[in-house]
Structure 1
């Protein structure tokens, strides 16, 4: 298999093989309980012991199926109650990490918890109550203060490594930077420090580490970054101030060095020489950190902040005077102090717009951290080899080396005991309980150089002895003069014992003669050295005299030039004043324009908000109108269908009624036709008058009813009345009398015979339903009518 891939890319370097380390330490998880804001506020956390706390579900929060309240206990390596001071917290948590840092080992300490649980106070503190960060800086510089190297002796190589320069190169670079930067961006230890910062850094007790190597030189570098919306920004990066069009900060990328450790490429690392200077650099970056006002916290951190303290140390040479110029002998250790943003629910914070996106990214990065811890725990407990998703988040990707065995890992879980945070606190406790089960490989001790220890002390004692001898002899006491130091190396040896007790002694006198000759030789060398030095000084004085004459001439010329330059400077000053006035005027105009721009932007945002509100209202009204139209269309269709059914029912009832009436008329016409037909039959005598009597029901019946639609779509007839026609013709004996002509007559004097059709048709039968004709006619009647 070729070493290079098919696409021609450089293959991935395999990490260097490290000696197997079977010793592992669990992740140290500590818990700190914040005091309640008010005394009347409901509390859901109780400290049972120095290692255990108990959570009480608040009133109204049911946790099991039976609706009962549940109480759970969680154990930690150490529990710090509300009365624990910052000093005690530092002693248990951060002090061992500082000891490891000075011993050449790495460390990671981060605070974790809900928004408003006291993470930033634990890490930074307040005036008079410094947090873990300023206390760690104070302990570092108290320990390495006498052994610090000069500035720029240690130099970063921009690849997460360190180089060592000699004193001359360091001096040249120091002068170069001081000339290029008229106003230093990083405050030096000699400058006046803000009293508030000094109050936070200076502690009541001066801590010092025990494992300081006196034969090494140290230098401290600090860097400060934040991870915001899964992007890395350098909080110490200097950007040009442009009020009109400010330049946004550029995000940084993560890279891997030659030892496969992750670092932020292009991140600014500032060399500091005191705790006050380091904390002032931190405070400068803290002002740039993303914070926002939410319902849960007035200054809620919207990003994860990482403050990196990097300690470079290199051994002295065999003489204990200079630092070894060997890069392989340089040891670099770092301590990362991480203040994680708080996990939160957007519904409680009232976040809108960008705040929702910020909260989502914060929760996603914390979820990735939990996932990595879960996979590590599963791999260690179950023996699996699952891939840990470090690359899913910048936070986990940056600190993957610590979980792989590059240093100790500690976590402080900050909790707020108020009942409103109970659900979030419960999730934090479960995560902390799981994190304690993860073990991290113990870091290896750094190799020790092969030089004899105590070199620095011997070198200082030798220089002190030389200076003492010079003072006794009345010579110069300036230690920085190399010629004097070189001459003092030739000190006269002591004389041996010259007492002669035996005349045959052949040892004492030769030894004395040899010692005297040696002293004479050394004395002559010292005299020659002094003569040479005197000659050098004399030549220097002569050269100085000649230089003084030349310098006087040169000074005279320079004075003339200076006079001309003064005129130019005066002109330039007047021009500068004019430009400054113009600049102030332009700045005033810029301020006015900025204010106008801000007003316009506010008006624009308000108008956009109003426009969005009106659009939403218009959309709601249109949707309401559409729903109303649909509802009215449904009502109209239902009403139309109901009236159609009603009209159809009435038409059917009317048709049935008309049919009944037509049937009645047809029957009447049939009876009338029958009467007419009988009257026109030839040769048949006229029938006597008849009367109709009510009889029993006969064959013909009249029915009336309503037509109703059924559910299946058919029709049904419901009868509302029945009318029966009963008719019988009976012959009533009439009392006839004959007239004088012998013809029969009726009782009223008329002729008793029906002589024509008109007379016979004058009697008709009429059926009326419901008429009362007297006894014997039950709801039916026959009316006898005559034609007038």
Structure 2
């Protein structure tokens, strides 16, 4: 539900304008300026009456192929150097003036680079009038005999007109003549400036066809400029103050009741001749902002808009006076726009105010280009993007024309010199894009329902009445004031009535006699007037009788016309029925076309989606195949690696078992020798028992060759694991000297009452590291919870990441579980331990049967080898409660 704000008048909906399905593209014409005397190279060539070709000048940037690209552009018509102003007017402006006389709007603007001849095309020069003066001349040649008297039409300052009676118009003229100085005569060309007279003097008079003779016309002109995106009235009469001149007041744009844009407070001057209208234009032209730049001696620094507004009001049924009905007034206007030229500050070398003016000019032209692009996109692609008319005063003022309020034409002026080639390319692209924009064709305005030819019939009746009066001896003069003047002048003049002597008896009798003569003549005139009145009455009676006889004939003809009208009505009804049927079929065709378009769009989108999915599926399949190949390679490499590792371990265990067997064999041999010596008679006593400090002789034995090759890779071990020699168990002394002492292991801190939360994410990989953390009293979880933390005192997180050398390293992040005041648990981290895999180096190992065993290059006998033991120790860098089961070397 729409709510209206209290205290504000709701906005009225726009009136329904007659719609027209027919559209016309924007008419774009091209005019080529003659090449200057100082310019030598020409970059534009006119190929045909509608096509031009651009040649890149020397030194211009080449295309990708290393060649100069020649581009062709087509227009509705191309005007070369030899085309006259009259020929240009006939093709461009004359159709717009013809539409103006018939109640339709029009917009004509010139566009181009600075110095390309836009102002000359619009205004002209002495002897070569441009589009504007020729349009004025054609308007007044067409409506000259049918113009209303001055001030019959009066502006209402709301983009509308009021109609006054002739009496009110006469009083208005007298009031203005008394208040203002007498206006200059607009009908005499001798009082005009000779240059202005040459501009508005065409080679041949142009006149529009089909002008409504039963209407009266009034012409109003206004002249504004858009300078720095502000609107100024060039016809505003300011009081000149030499001490402190008053700056001009900017105007604002408003919307009338028909939603048409207009300049509020702009002065509109009623003109009665082309000379007077051009004088008004020239008066405003002197106030326009121009400046001298490097490229143009008189460069326009603003966009000028000359608006010609034509009012048309029908006559009454008798064809004598104008209807006093504002709704019957038809108002049409023609806007002639001279856009300022786009320029680059790098070429003009402008500074200060000139730079600001150039920036505003280029910005307004860019906004015009943007609006044209969006209009073209909406029409060609079916989109509904908002056109930014309000970003510039130029586009905001003329938005109604692009929405279908009249025809739009553009004259593109180009300079063929090589220096303007870059900017000419941009102008050509904009003109080519503008031709693709279509504007709704304006419909004909309705005319009042009176019988046409009223003015002509009224004039014919007056001529017939004068002829009949002349035949019967009546007054020949057709104008009553002229008859009265003739009668007054026929009376005898009065003698001088000045009395200088009281006894003068001549003057008074002479005056009395003259008065009697005048009285007698007056009586004769009254008699003649009565006779003429009687004759007039008889003529009117005869005319009435003739009219009655003619009425019978007219009634017969009217009966026939009514029959014809009935037939016409039947035909019209049939035509309307067929038109409705045609519209219905067109509507169905449009619906089918739209449905087809929708289906085609859906089909294209589905095909595109299908192709996209097929491509994605193919990519996924190829990725899957690559992944399978990669995984197969990884599996084969891992399998090969573990096979070698298993083989190495089996060989190592085999060597270890052989060493143990050798040690046992040595012990048995020694024991056998002892037993044998003790049983043999005459055997010498055994040598004394050696103390641990004394060296014992080592048994000699021949070790078997090691089956493992030197090139066999060693397994990866933890970074904290020490490098150990080959795992060979050394045999102890055959006769122990003391009771063996079992080493005490350090008790881990985790063996106490502490409990651990072992947090191992499910994404961790099993790397097979030799040293692995073992936490006996722990709860292993993949995601910790509050319940789990409440049962434990310590916390350890296993985290894996890629190291700088590309290997995966494991971090153990440890902390303590602390109870918070709110009854929850928090973890305070205290230590971080890093486990990293490295490739252990393989020590060289040699054996000699005669010299015992060589370990790392040192010779060791059996006793020395037996003195090496293996002990389980906890990692020194581990935190409390975490053990690493590893091997360290310890000598006795």
Q: TM-score, normalised by structure 1?
A: 0.61
Distance 1:142 1:298 in 2: 35
1:603 alignment counterpart: none
Kindly indicate whether residue 365 of structure 2 is the aligned counterpart of residue 317 of structure 1. Answer: no
Maintained 8 Å contact 2:228/2:302: yes
C-alpha distance in 2, partners of 1:288/1:390?
27
Q: Output the CA distance in 1 between the equivalents of 2:542 and 2:93.
A: 55
Mapping of residues 425-464 of structure 1, within 5 Å: 425-464=424-463
Distance 1:489 1:323 in 2: 29
Which position in structure 2 is the counterpart of 1:5? 5
Query: 1:417 — aligned with what?
Result: 416
CA contact (8 A) 1:147 1:217 kept: yes
Alpha-carbon deviation of 1:18? Answer: 2.1
From 535, 539, 553, the counterpart of 1:491: 539
The residue number in structure 1 matching 2:479 is 479
- Once the 2 structures are TM-superposed, how far is the Cα of residue 69 of structure 1 from its aligned partner? 1.1
The aligned runs of 1:126-525 (5 Å cut-off) are 126-184=125-183, 188-190=186-188, 192-472=191-471, 473-475=473-475, 477-480=477-480, 488=536, 491-494=539-542
Partner residue, 1:107? 106
The answer to whether the 8 A contact 2:24-2:440 is kept is yes
Deviation at 1:478, TM superposition (A): 4.7
**CA distance in 2 between partners of 1:433 and 1:395 (Å):** 20
Match of 1:692 in 2: none
Q: Which moved more, 1:14-23 or 1:100-109?
A: 14-23
Q: Any conservation in 2 of the 1:74–1:429 contact (CA below 8 Å)?
A: yes
Tell me, in whole angstroms, the C-alpha distance in 2 between the residues paired with 1:494 and 1:296: 79
Q: Is the 8 A contact 1:310 1:334 kept in 2?
A: yes
The 8 Å contact of residues 470 and 477 in structure 1, kept in 2 or not, is answered as no
**In structure 1, C-alpha distance between the alignment counterparts of 2:283 and 2:174, rounded to whole Å:** 25
| 2:28–2:75 contact (8 Å) kept in structure 1 | yes
**Contact kept? 1:99, 1:211, Cα under 8 Å:** no
Structure 1 residue 213: Cα displacement: 0.3
User: Residues 241-290 of structure 1, C-alpha deviation per residue, up to 9 Å, x if partnerless?
Assistant: 11111111000000000000000000000000000110011000000000
1:97 alignment counterpart? 96
Kindly tell me the number of residue pairs found equivalent between the two proteins: 496
> Deviation per CA, 1:91-143, whole angstroms, max 9, x where unpaired?
00000000000000000000000000000000000111000000000000000
| CA distance 1:379–1:465, change in 2 (3 Å) | same
The structure-2 alpha-carbon separation of the partners of 1:27 and 1:467, relative to structure 1 and needing over 3 Å to count, comes to same
Shift of 1:5: 3.2
Say whether 1:86 aligns with 2:134: no
Give, in angstroms, the shift of residue 189 of structure 1: 2.9
What do the CA deviations read for 1:433-471 (whole angstroms, capped 9, x no partner)? 000000000001010211111110111111122233334
Counterparts of residues 705-744 of structure 1 (less than 5 Å): none
Q: CA deviation at 1:237?
A: 0.5
Q: Per the alignment, in what secondary structure is the counterpart of residue 68 of structure 1?
A: coil
Aligned to 1:54: 53
Structure 1's 3 and 157: CA in aligned 2 closer, same or farther, altered over 3 A?
farther
CA distance in structure 1 between the partners assigned to 2:543 and 2:295 by the alignment:
85
| CA distance in structure 1 between the partners assigned to 2:320 and 2:162 by the alignment | 18
Residues in 1 aligned to 2:544 and 2:343: alpha-carbon distance in whole angstroms:
86
User: 1:26 maps to what in 2?
Assistant: 25
- Report the alpha carbon displacement of residue 38 of structure 1 after superposing the two structures with TM: 1.7
CA contact (8 A) 1:261 1:401 kept: yes
- Displacement, 1:194? 1.8
Structure 1 residues 315 and 480, CA, compared in 2 at 3 Å: closer, same or farther?
Answer: farther
Distance in 2 of aligned mates of 1:490 and 1:292:
75
Q: 8 Å contact 2:32–2:414 — kept in the other structure? A: yes
Preserved CA contact (<8 Å) 1:405 1:441: yes
Q: Judging changes above 3 Å, is the alpha-carbon distance between structure 1 residues 364 and 196 closer, same or farther for their aligned structure 2 residues?
A: same
- Unaligned stretches of 5+ in structure 2? 485-528, 550-892
Distance 1:489 1:56, change over 3 A: farther
Partners of 1:3 and 1:11 within 8 A in 2: no
> Could you tell me how far apart the structure 2 residues matched to 1:12 and 1:35 are?
53
1:489 CA drift (Å): 6.8
Q: Distance in 1 between matches of 2:39 and 2:277?
A: 41
Distance (whole Å) between structure 1 residues aligned to residue 244 and residue 543 of structure 2: 83
Residue 11 (structure 1) shift: 3.6
In structure 2, C-alpha distance between the alignment counterparts of 1:106 and 1:486, rounded to whole Å: 51
Q: CA deviation at 1:17?
A: 1.7
Q: Partners of 2:480 and 2:360 in 1: how far apart?
A: 59
Separation in 2, partners of 1:234, 1:155 = 19
Relative contact order, CA 8 A, sep 6+: which one is greater? Answer: 1
Q: What is the Cα deviation at residue 491 of structure 1?
A: 1.9
Q: Secondary structure at the match of 1:491?
A: helix
The answer as to whether partners of 2:407 and 2:439 remain within 8 angstroms in 1 is: yes
Change (3 A) 1:489 1:309: farther
Counterpart Cα distance in 1 of 2:68 and 2:320: 70
- Quote how far apart the aligned CAs of 1:39 are: 6.9
Q: Distance in 2 between matches of 1:171 and 1:139?
A: 28
Secondary structure at the counterpart of residue 46 of structure 1: strand
1:27-52: per-residue Cα shift (whole Å, max 9, x none)? 00000000000275111101111000
Alpha-carbon distance between aligned partners in 1 of 2:140 and 2:177, rounded to the nearest angstrom = 24
1:502-532 Cα distance to aligned partner (Å, 9 max, x none): xxxxxxxxx9xxxxxxxxxxxxxxxxxxxxx
Q: CA deviation at 1:318?
A: 0.6
What is the CA–CA distance in structure 2 between the aligned matches of 1:486 and 1:298, rounded to whole Å? 73
SS in 1 for 2:93: helix
- How far the C-alpha of 1:190 sits from its partner, in A, is 4.8
Residue in structure 2 matched with residue 767 of structure 1 by the alignment: none
Whether contact under 8 Å (1:23, 1:441) holds in the other structure is: yes
- How far residue 238 of structure 1 moved from its aligned partner, in angstroms, is 0.2
> Where do 4+ consecutive residues of structure 1 move more than 6 Å?
482-487
Q: Secondary structure at the match of 2:92?
A: helix
* CA distance 1:496–1:91, change in 2 (3 Å): closer
